[in-house]
Every structure is written in C-alpha cells, then in structure tokens.
Structure 1
C-alpha cells in the first residue's frame, strides 16, 4: 500500500523516533510503514491520522486505488 506518512511526518518536523514514541511503537515500525513494508492496523492508522493531522484516506492509498462499484 502506498502511503504519505514520511512526507507528512517530515512536513511537521518530526523524526521517526519522535513519531514512534508518540505512537507507542518502535522506530523500526515507523520505518516499515513509511517504506510500505508494513500496513498498520486500523487503530494504529487512526493514531497516525490524528498525530499527522491528515485523514486515513490522505495518508494511505491502496495499491489498486481504482475503486469500482458493484455492477449489480
């Protein structure tokens, strides 16, 4: 999943360590999220959203972001 966590974190002047501490996770978790190697749980995504001042939809873009409606 593509994400904009790194960009948003940097714009706010936060280090990975500072963000990790505020989230209650390891710095390695933040690194993994930023690199797209780890998709956060929904509760963690909500905490990221609140701390970074952006909606979940703004932070995370699904790999297949061409959302289609059910043709029924």
Structure 2
C-alpha cells in the first residue's frame, strides 16, 4: 500500500519535513498517526482521510488504534 501524503491534510501536517510528493506505506502512515496523534485535529478529518485511517487500523493495527 502506497499513500500519497498530499491527498490527506492531517497526514500532510505530520509529514511537514518531507517533500511535497512524499509517499509512505501503510504501516508507516499508521505509525505517523499513532505517534503524533497529539498534533492531529480529529474533527478536521475529511471523510476520505477518516476512511484511510480506519482502513490502516483494520489492516495494520489489527483493529486497534494506539495513539502515543
């Protein structure tokens, strides 16, 4: 699974130090969300990004989201 960071505003915020055309894989994206959850605005998720996060949790987190 390859995720274009620029398609997801909250993920883009977490990848501020990466190039604009950055791509991450699924486990890395889930890790970014979990390890940096304090920087996320949960109400700022658009439906597309919420669906992405739910899919990442289901596929790579065994259904468990564990923010740090």
Larger radius of gyration: 1
Report the TM-score, using the length of structure 1 for normalisation: 0.33
Where relative contact order (Cα < 8 A, 6+ residues apart) is larger, the structure is 1
Higher-helix-fraction structure = 2
Report the TM-score, using the length of structure 2 for normalisation: 0.34
